[in-house]
Structure 1
Amino acid sequence: MEIVIILVFVLGYLAITLEHNLKIDKLIPALVMMALCWALIALGIDNFSQWFDSGQHAILDTFGLLNHEEKIHLMDETLLHHLGKTAEILVFLLGAMTIVEIIDYFDGFSTIKTFVKTKSKRKILWIFAFLGFGLSAIIDNLTATIVLISILQKIVKDKEVRMYYAGLIIIAANAGGAWSPIGDVTTTMLWIGKKVTTGHLLAYLFVPSFLCMFVPTLIASFLPAFRGDLAPSTEELDSKPKSKYSARMLYLGLAGIISVPIFKTVTHLPPYVGMMLALGIVSVFAEVYSKTKFSITEIDSESNDTVGHHSPVHSSLSKIELPSILFFLGILMAVAALESLGILFDFASGLKSTLPMLGTELHHSGVSDLVILLLGVGSAVIDNVPLVAASLGMFSEPTDNELWHFIAYSAGTGGSMLIIGSAAGVVAMGMEKIDFFWYLKKISWLALIGFVVGSAAFMITRTLY
């Protein structure tokens, strides 16, 4: 039965990676894979000899001695445990996405355009690189990429030049998301899973992530595409925002998101609680500024619905990426199925016993650096979310072990090497119609250099802590 479950997972995983070829949204195979894996577990529960206790992070060798009712009860408890952990991540992401959409409702991101006051291609490259690196650490790399490419489309007319800029924005955004607990979905998963803390994540990964952005940008600044000045654009850079509250809502929304790690540190409550508080506060100001009397909890009546469509909160909630949320649900719960059967634990044990000699060993674990580097390369080919989800079930190192920080860096930045390797790359591909092979030829080598330089920097900086 384990072989059948693994086969379902592999086929589902393959369908996710071939999303563009199959023309099927990746959330569909993710949800089907999750449902089938757990259904097969339920149907064959009496055939399994071991079970993985996620709470104790250990294999229950006595599982085979339990009767049918006890096994079903344990499966229900495990399913509920994983659903709770997954829901923490999803609710957190829903809050963050809604705040970003509220900022966009007030045209808050137009304020960022005021930073661009030059026509020099090279200077604009550096401005967007630093904006991508900093902004992605606050509002996540996917959103930062959308915002910056939207601005880019208004100030750069030449499509070929704009694609070069977009490629460097992808590298900068993924690098910026790696060192922040709220900058990338995979880093957020490690943070909520209590594998890394904000302080140590910043200490370990800021320098490697910065170099991962800085070195490719420095090399690119000497390329022909970034020489000279831009041609005059059809839209003025300093055009006024649509709302007089644009800047205020931008700073308020960003402050709300930034406050979440602080809230967690002070209260020791899960991050989603702080994110809901931040969303509530930002929503109050949004409603006041928009001068509506809409209530989120009262949308049944026709009058409320009419007013609701003019509410920034209602509008923002209708624009968040629910397909992404469902995709994360499917992936995380499917990986949880493999973890519960002890498959990931056995695989990790095999790695620890056979691979350390292939690379430099981590100081406090038996997993070689080579394994983590391969994970980074793998995240360029396939989605990094299931890779990190699998690592959570494979390794049992304590909080803030350097293994987790290296995984955060590799999974976060490795995806830049192919345009389909990260959410930022995929959205840029759609917005700018960037060809896969154009990116492979023009940008991938820069991303590879940044990834290698950052990895080397991590191996040095980890010895300092």
Structure 2
Amino acid sequence: MELVIILVFVVGYLAITLEHTLKIDKLIPALVMMAICWAAIALGLDSFTQWFDSGQHALLETFGGLAHEEKLHLMEETLLHHLGKTAEILVFLLGAMTIVEIIDYFDGFSTIKSFVKTKSKRKILWVFSFLAFILSAIIDNLTATIVLISILQKIVKDRDVRMWYAGLIIIAANAGGAWSPIGDVTTTMLWIGKKVTTGHLIGYLLAPSFLCMFVPSLIASFMPAFKGDLESSDEDEEKSKSKYGARMLYLGLAGIVSVPIFKSVTHLPPYVGMMLALGVVAVFAEVYTSSKFSISDIETEDNDTHGHHSPVHESLSKIELPSILFFLGILMAVAALESLGILFDLASSLKGTMPRLGTELGEEGVSDLVILLLGVGSAVIDNVPLVAASLGMFSEPMDNELWHFIAYSAGTGGSMLIIGSAAGVVAMGMEKIDFFWYLKKISWLALVGFLVGSAAFMVTRTLF
């Protein structure tokens, strides 16, 4: 039965990887894979000889000798445990996504356009690279990419030039998301899974992630595509749809940034702080929306509202529910492999079998080469299941350098192919970027940044 479960997982994984070829949304194979894996476990429960207790993080080799009722009870407890851990991530993401949509409801992101006051292509490259690096650490790399490319489309009219900027934005956004606990889904998974803390994550990864963004941008700034000035546009500056846009932008970003602080002070799970931040932002959104209405006249020039309904309701309706369901499916499917001890056995076989490239961790240390290959692999296949698998494979303690290297590799490695990260996929859709164009023009820059950042990590980890 174990072979059947592994086969189902592999087939489902391939379907997720070949999403664009099969024309099937990746959430579908993720959900089917999750349901079949757990159904197979339930049907073949008596045939399994070992079980991985996730709560104790220990392998129960006496599982085969337990009675059927005891096995069934243990399976239900394990399933509930994994569902709870997965729900923490999903609720956290729902809160963050809703805050971002509320900001967008008030057209708050148009405020960022005011930062760009130059026509120099090179200077604009640096402005967008730094904005992507910082913004992605706050509102996540996917949203930062969408926001910045939307702004880019209003500033740069030449699509050929814009594709170059989009490529560097992808690299910078993925690099920025790696050093923040709220900057990338995979980093958030490690943070909520109590594998990394905010302070150590920033300490370990800020410099490597910065170099991963800075070096490609520096090289690109000397390339022909970024020489000269942009053509002047005669179009009038677009007015913000809401006079509260800037205020909601700063309030929303402050709310998201406050979540790690809330966690460190209260020691409560991050989703609690995110719900508090959402509640505060939602209060201001409702107040500002209500203040726009006049009993006698609701269509005045000063009335810059989107309608009579709640901004929170509209923001919730725009949430990417397919992404949430995909995370549910893939995380619970990986949990099935973890529960059977398959990932634990795989991790044991990896430890000590490949030479380390940096500081020794001892005989039980995991090869740096394995983590580097994980980063390269995240460019080909989705980094969420890769990191989810690593959570079940390795048992290193919180803030071990292994977890930070995984966060860096999985977060930035996806930049090497345009389909390797959510930021790349959304940029591909927004700008119709060709896979092979990106491969020839941008991939080598992403690879250089990834390797420079990896080398920097091997130095910074010796400081902690």
Q: Any idea what the Cα deviations from partners look like across 1:306-364, whole Å, max 9, x if unmatched? A: x9962110000000110000000000000000000000000000001422x36446536
Q: CA deviation at 1:366?
A: 1.3
Q: CA deviation at 1:235?
A: 3.8
Residue aligning to 1:462: 461
Q: Any idea what the Cα deviations from partners look like across 1:406-445, whole Å, max 9, x if unmatched? A: 0000000000000000000000000000000000000000
**Amino acid aligned to 1:147:** V
SS at match of 2:282: helix
Residue aligning to 2:295: none
2:7 and 2:441 map into 1 onto residues whose CA distance is 36
Q: CA deviation at 1:292?
A: 7.7
What is the 5 A alignment of 1:234-383? 235-236=235-236, 238-291=237-290, 310-355=309-354, 357=355, 359-360=357-358, 362-363=360-361, 365-383=364-382
2:455 and 2:357 map into 1 onto residues whose CA distance is 13
What is the 5 A alignment of 1:9-24? 9-24=9-24
Q: Do residues 384 (structure 1) and 418 (structure 2) align?
A: no
2:356 and 2:130 map into 1 onto residues whose CA distance is 36
Q: CA deviation at 1:211?
A: 0.2
Q: Do residues 124 (structure 1) and 136 (structure 2) align?
A: no
Residue aligning to 1:60: 60
2:320 and 2:277 map into 1 onto residues whose CA distance is 19
Q: Any idea what the Cα deviations from partners look like across 1:130-170, whole Å, max 9, x if unmatched? A: 00000000000000000000000001011010000000000
Q: Tell whether the 8 Å contact from 1:361 to 1:368 is kept in structure 2 after alignment.
A: no
**Amino acid aligned to 2:249:** L
Residue aligning to 2:50: 50
Q: CA 1:104 to 1:362, structure 2 compared with 1: closer, same or farther past 3 Å?
A: farther
Moved more, 384-393 or 365-374: 365-374
Residue aligning to 2:296: none
1:362 and 1:55 map into 2 onto residues whose CA distance is 29
Q: Any idea what the Cα deviations from partners look like across 1:83-117, whole Å, max 9, x if unmatched? A: 00000000000000000000000000000000000
**Amino acid aligned to 2:228:** G
2:310 and 2:80 map into 1 onto residues whose CA distance is 35
Q: CA 1:276 to 1:215, structure 2 compared with 1: closer, same or farther past 3 Å?
A: same
2:307 and 2:321 map into 1 onto residues whose CA distance is 20
Q: Tell whether the 8 Å contact from 2:125 to 2:221 is kept in structure 1 after alignment.
A: yes
Corresponding pairs, count: 451
SS at match of 2:126: helix
SS at match of 2:35: helix
Residue aligning to 1:219: 219
**Amino acid aligned to 1:279:** L
TM-score (norm 2): 0.95
Q: CA deviation at 1:55?
A: 1.1
2:259 and 2:359 map into 1 onto residues whose CA distance is 34
Residue aligning to 2:297: none
Q: Any idea what the Cα deviations from partners look like across 1:174-200, whole Å, max 9, x if unmatched? A: 000000000000000000000000000
TM-score (norm 1): 0.95
1:87 and 1:130 map into 2 onto residues whose CA distance is 33
Q: CA deviation at 1:26?
A: 0.3
Q: Which runs of 5+ in 2 are unaligned?
A: 293-305
Q: Any idea what the Cα deviations from partners look like across 1:65-94, whole Å, max 9, x if unmatched? A: 111111111000000000000000000000
What is the 5 A alignment of 1:39-118? 39-118=39-118
2:200 and 2:447 map into 1 onto residues whose CA distance is 25
SS at match of 2:59: strand
Moved more, 360-369 or 130-139: 360-369
SS at match of 2:351: helix
SS at match of 1:457: helix
Identity, in percent, stands at: 86
**Amino acid aligned to 2:340:** L
Q: Tell whether the 8 Å contact from 1:201 to 1:405 is kept in structure 2 after alignment.
A: yes
Q: Tell whether the 8 Å contact from 1:156 to 1:233 is kept in structure 2 after alignment.
A: no
**Amino acid aligned to 1:397:** E
Q: Which runs of 5+ in 1 are unaligned?
A: 294-306
Q: Any idea what the Cα deviations from partners look like across 1:275-309, whole Å, max 9, x if unmatched? A: 0000000000000000089xxxxxxxxxxxxx996
